[in-house]
Structure 1
Amino acid sequence: MTDKKRTSYPKEKINILLLENISDLAVQNFKQAGYTSIKKITGALPEEELIKAVKDVHMLGIRSKSQITPAVLSAASKLQAIGCFCIGVNQVNLNKATEQGISVFNAPYSNTRSVAELVIGLSVMLIRRIPDKNKAAHEGKWMKDAKGSYELRGKTLGIIGYGNIGAQVSVLAEAFGMKVIFYDVVTRLPLGNAQARKSIKEVVSEADIITLHVPETAQTKNLISAAVIKHFKQGSILINYARGEVVDLNALSAALKSSQLSGAAIDVYPVEPEKNGDTFTTPLQNLPNVILTPHIGGSTEEAQANIGEDVSMKLINFLETGITTGSHTVPELALPLQEGAHRILHIHKNVPGVLSQINTQLSSHHINILGQYLKTNDEIGYVVLDVDKHLSKEAMELLKDIKETIKVRMLY
């Protein structure tokens, strides 16, 4: 079986829409795989425009700004998969995507190094009070002074969220001679000499620099509140390159003004501008020893290339083989190719008896199943069937007639 014949639907008719200036490497991967109907847009689209744009789209690529709402998904009747070319998927309504059998992929690890390196760089800048000295130099003032400037060596770094990024920050920090402590809701194996703590309070009261690497959930909203900041070590530094809702920025502003904290670096905000050039405000503007960046923690050429490679290949593999490894909506299945057969994907509501119906329908029509794979989650079931080539079209029609069917697609 050649790549050109991997899908039953002509590749030139498969419409791919990429928003938010996704890496050209992703475009190259799609073209090399034989897909030619690719539209790339530099920015995000507002909901009304996006609803129109997705009407005939089979694969959609986005980053963090595009909001894939239930209304957008309802308009995307041909949509098979969404690729989030970033770490998170919170910009997609996953419940609606699951309901419609749309597979959602992302790249949770591809920009890990970019964020980790920047956190260490920010730690150096803030503990040396470089923002203040930089501002003074631009204003024509000479501030050659060691007061309030320190080395990282021997200081304690507190990490809240010891996942992929937090663990890499931990390794880099130890290379600088720092002591590392961390807290995570999940039990994690420490790397190097890092030590776990039992609570956030323990970490912030002991650490000289605190860095956050947690997801945005109901539990993490305002995780760093005025009540928590009271426990921060006097003169400590806070870095948030995680999610915008995690820190109460008004409380942080007050702590910086009172010198409870000596500095901060913030990259993410509860409300962010839609596009470059839009007005941006935050309570942290014009405060001393504060670094504000526009959500660029993972924005390096290397990271974008890694993300482009990772997500585009997940989308291609799903479209051509049915593999759903890494999907947040359709149950995960890693599948071998089956020569001499046609492969059919069946996504259905997860209710008892569907698999029995599938097998009964096919067997009653003497359709031989050469391979069958099943995985379910709370909402839907995903069955991949390799069937006799000569009877695959009949099998497709039989599967469409099953009441609980959401999507049926023949791959090859």
Structure 2
Amino acid sequence: MADRQYQQQIMYPLRRSGSFTQNVKILKPFDSGDIKILLLENINETAVEILTKEGYQVEAHKKALPEDVLIEKIREVHCIGIRSKTKLTSNVLREAKKLLVIGCFCIGTNQVDLDYAAKRGIAVFNSPFSNSRSVAELVIAEIITLSRQVGDRNIEMHQGIWNKVSSECYEIRGKTLGIIGYGHIGTQLSVLAESMGMTVFFYDIIQIMPIGTAKQVGSLQELFERADFVSIHVPETKETKNMIGHEEISKMKKRSYLINASRGTVVQIPALIKGLQSGLLAGAAIDVYPREPHSNGPHFNDELNEWSTDLLNCKNLIMTPHIGGSTEEAQRMIGIEVATALYKFISYGSSIGAVNFPEVDLRAIQVAEEKNIRILFVHHNVPGVLKEINQLLSDHNVEKQHSDSHGEIAYMMADVSSVDDHDIREIYTNISSIKENILTRIVY
């Protein structure tokens, strides 16, 4: 009973005086029922099943929550799962007193203040490739649709207009696809395009081994000169923001096509509109936008983006509402991938795949008659901390230890064997007293 009371006491954040905030938590596997998880935005049922099966308390909502409701909810949860509409700003995270980990059930993490989360010892996970195939298939469909002007013919037929034409309608076989960003989606797209008889060139900031007969080019200029279709698959960074503007579009092959299924800030839409209106571009497909509505409905208008009407009036333009990864298969895989990462971090401390956090992992804690524990220690990345930790653990048998850093944050994982309850309390007390401590957990 005494041990149980001690454990309940230190499950909650403790604050100490000094220049560093101390968030010290301890967790036993059989206390998984104490872990509260909040899932928002209709996250796939596979995630709910995985996390519920582990014994966690899971509360799931189909929509994003207003900020005031979100703040109230997040105060009591140890884990939150979101998609793209929920904004976890510093204002929200400041109230997350018990939060250990955030799961972004999507590719992007721009909706989370990653630096603020890291400084509070909160790891953030996403799903960087589970929807790769879905996005690649959509792009292939758009390439064919643009090449045959299917979008315009569809609109005309819905208006009762019969317009059977073949002028400027082409097969994609024998055409050249230029891919900007040869990552998970880019390589999937490359394979599909080649199988349909296209020649593939790609541009990436790092040297990458091509798949199939694809060839890497040394500059965007060379890609633009070669490509009949240009498809963009890059993350949002300082380098990629507004990457494609008037100058870049003017260098593209005349009557070529531009496809953006990456991030809305990569392509400058006014430049795209001008390229379509001038006839330089034969068509375009856009799935992402600089500003997107927060909910479904008639919200895509000039109040959201001042150029919306001009864009809507462009010919041979396919516009989709950020559905590149919105397939049942992709959402299921994302649910499995992110939920598994959350479970591993909560239960074992594994941070492999975290986007804002040092990546550390050790093999599973060995089951033995003697009590074995795992120490999970997040701290400010300054000299001397590991020396102090090792001195504190010098009287114990440290079976495994791993440490890494990510900017200002460092993370150490250590397995200690043959300890009793008194040892655990002592280790906890000593580590939590280190002034550079951000968050400490002990699991066993």
- Considering the TM-score relative to the shorter chain, is it more than 0.5? yes
Q: Which whole-Å deviations, capped at 9, do the CAs of 1:303-334 have from their partners, x for residues lacking one?
A: 00000000000000111111111012221112
Which of 101, 104, 110 aligns to 1:90? It is 110
Please give the alpha-carbon distance, in whole angstroms, between the structure 2 residues aligned to 1:362 and 1:323: 21
SS in 1 for 2:192: helix
What is the CA distance between 1:241 and its match in structure 2? 0.2
SS in 2 for 1:344: strand
Q: Who is 1:389 aligned against?
A: 419
Q: Who is 1:133 aligned against?
A: 153
1:317 aligns with 2:338: no
Q: Which whole-Å deviations, capped at 9, do the CAs of 1:347-367 have from their partners, x for residues lacking one?
A: 11111111111122233xx44
Q: Who is 1:353 aligned against?
A: 384
Q: Which whole-Å deviations, capped at 9, do the CAs of 1:1-32 have from their partners, x for residues lacking one?
A: xxxxx934722221101111100000000111
Which of 250, 272, 286 aligns to 1:252? It is 272
Kindly provide the amino acid, as one letter, of the partner of residue 374 in structure 1. S
SS in 2 for 1:245: coil
Which of 54, 63, 79 aligns to 2:99? It is 79
1:239 aligns with 2:265: no
1:285 aligns with 2:288: no
Contact kept? 1:105, 1:326, Cα under 8 Å: yes
TM-score (norm 2): 0.88
Q: Which whole-Å deviations, capped at 9, do the CAs of 1:16-65 have from their partners, x for residues lacking one?
A: 01111100000000111122x11111122343332222101101101112
Kindly provide the amino acid, as one letter, of the partner of residue 152 in structure 1. I
Please give the alpha-carbon distance, in whole angstroms, between the structure 2 residues aligned to 1:330 and 1:265: 35
SS in 2 for 1:198: coil
Contact kept? 2:361, 2:413, Cα under 8 Å: no
Please give the alpha-carbon distance, in whole angstroms, between the structure 1 residues aligned to 2:244 and 2:357: 34
Please give the alpha-carbon distance, in whole angstroms, between the structure 2 residues aligned to 1:305 and 1:26: 8
1:104 aligns with 2:121: no
Q: 1:225 to 1:376 in 2, by over 3 A?
A: same
Identity of paired residues, percent?
48
Kindly provide the amino acid, as one letter, of the partner of residue 431 in structure 2. L
Q: Who is 1:411 aligned against?
A: 443
Please give the alpha-carbon distance, in whole angstroms, between the structure 1 residues aligned to 2:379 and 2:45: 35
Kindly provide the amino acid, as one letter, of the partner of residue 333 in structure 1. V
Of 13-22 and 336-345, more deviation after overlay is shown by: 336-345
Kindly provide the amino acid, as one letter, of the partner of residue 53 in structure 1. K
1:118 aligns with 2:118: no
Please give the alpha-carbon distance, in whole angstroms, between the structure 1 residues aligned to 2:400 and 2:275: 62
Please give the alpha-carbon distance, in whole angstroms, between the structure 1 residues aligned to 2:30 and 2:94: 22
Which of 379, 400, 405 aligns to 2:432? It is 400
SS in 2 for 1:204: helix
Kindly provide the amino acid, as one letter, of the partner of residue 27 in structure 1. V
Contact kept? 1:319, 1:411, Cα under 8 Å: no
Q: Who is 1:29 aligned against?
A: 50
1:6-405 equivalence runs, <5 A? 7-8=28-29, 10-35=31-56, 37-281=57-301, 282=308, 283-339=310-366, 340=368, 341-363=372-394, 366-387=395-416, 388-390=418-420, 391-405=423-437
Q: Which whole-Å deviations, capped at 9, do the CAs of 1:58-112 have from their partners, x for residues lacking one?
A: 0110111211111111111111001111112122111111111111111101000
What is the CA distance between 1:368 and its match in structure 2? 3.6
Kindly provide the amino acid, as one letter, of the partner of residue 404 in structure 1. E
SS in 1 for 2:311: coil
Q: 1:358 to 1:9 in 2, by over 3 A?
A: farther
Kindly provide the amino acid, as one letter, of the partner of residue 154 in structure 2. N
Please give the alpha-carbon distance, in whole angstroms, between the structure 2 residues aligned to 1:329 and 1:156: 37
Kindly provide the amino acid, as one letter, of the partner of residue 354 in structure 1. V
Kindly provide the amino acid, as one letter, of the partner of residue 312 in structure 1. A
Contact kept? 1:367, 1:395, Cα under 8 Å: no
Contact kept? 1:8, 1:410, Cα under 8 Å: no
Unpaired segments ≥5 residues, structure 2: 1-26, 302-307
What is the CA distance between 1:145 and its match in structure 2? 1.6
Contact kept? 2:347, 2:443, Cα under 8 Å: yes
Please give the alpha-carbon distance, in whole angstroms, between the structure 1 residues aligned to 2:272 and 2:436: 51
SS in 1 for 2:414: strand
SS in 1 for 2:282: strand
What is the CA distance between 1:278 and its match in structure 2? 4.8
Please give the alpha-carbon distance, in whole angstroms, between the structure 2 residues aligned to 1:77 and 1:375: 25
Of 233-242 and 283-292, more deviation after overlay is shown by: 283-292
Contact kept? 1:70, 1:96, Cα under 8 Å: yes
Contact kept? 2:37, 2:80, Cα under 8 Å: yes
Kindly provide the amino acid, as one letter, of the partner of residue 359 in structure 1. N
Kindly provide the amino acid, as one letter, of the partner of residue 386 in structure 1. D
SS in 1 for 2:201: strand
Contact kept? 1:7, 1:411, Cα under 8 Å: yes
Kindly provide the amino acid, as one letter, of the partner of residue 167 in structure 1. T
Of 153-162 and 86-95, more deviation after overlay is shown by: 86-95
SS in 1 for 2:353: coil
Of 151-160 and 334-343, more deviation after overlay is shown by: 334-343
Please give the alpha-carbon distance, in whole angstroms, between the structure 2 residues aligned to 1:329 and 1:411: 22
Kindly provide the amino acid, as one letter, of the partner of residue 43 in structure 2. I
Q: Aligned residues, how many?
A: 404
Contact kept? 1:346, 1:408, Cα under 8 Å: yes
Kindly provide the amino acid, as one letter, of the partner of residue 301 in structure 1. E
**Please, what is the CA RMSD of the aligned residues?**
1.4
What is the CA distance between 1:242 and its match in structure 2? 0.3
Please give the alpha-carbon distance, in whole angstroms, between the structure 2 residues aligned to 1:124 and 1:409: 53
Q: Who is 1:3 aligned against?
A: none
Kindly provide the amino acid, as one letter, of the partner of residue 402 in structure 1. I
Kindly provide the amino acid, as one letter, of the partner of residue 83 in structure 2. R
SS in 1 for 2:244: coil
SS in 1 for 2:276: helix
Kindly provide the amino acid, as one letter, of the partner of residue 263 in structure 1. G
Contact kept? 2:361, 2:402, Cα under 8 Å: no
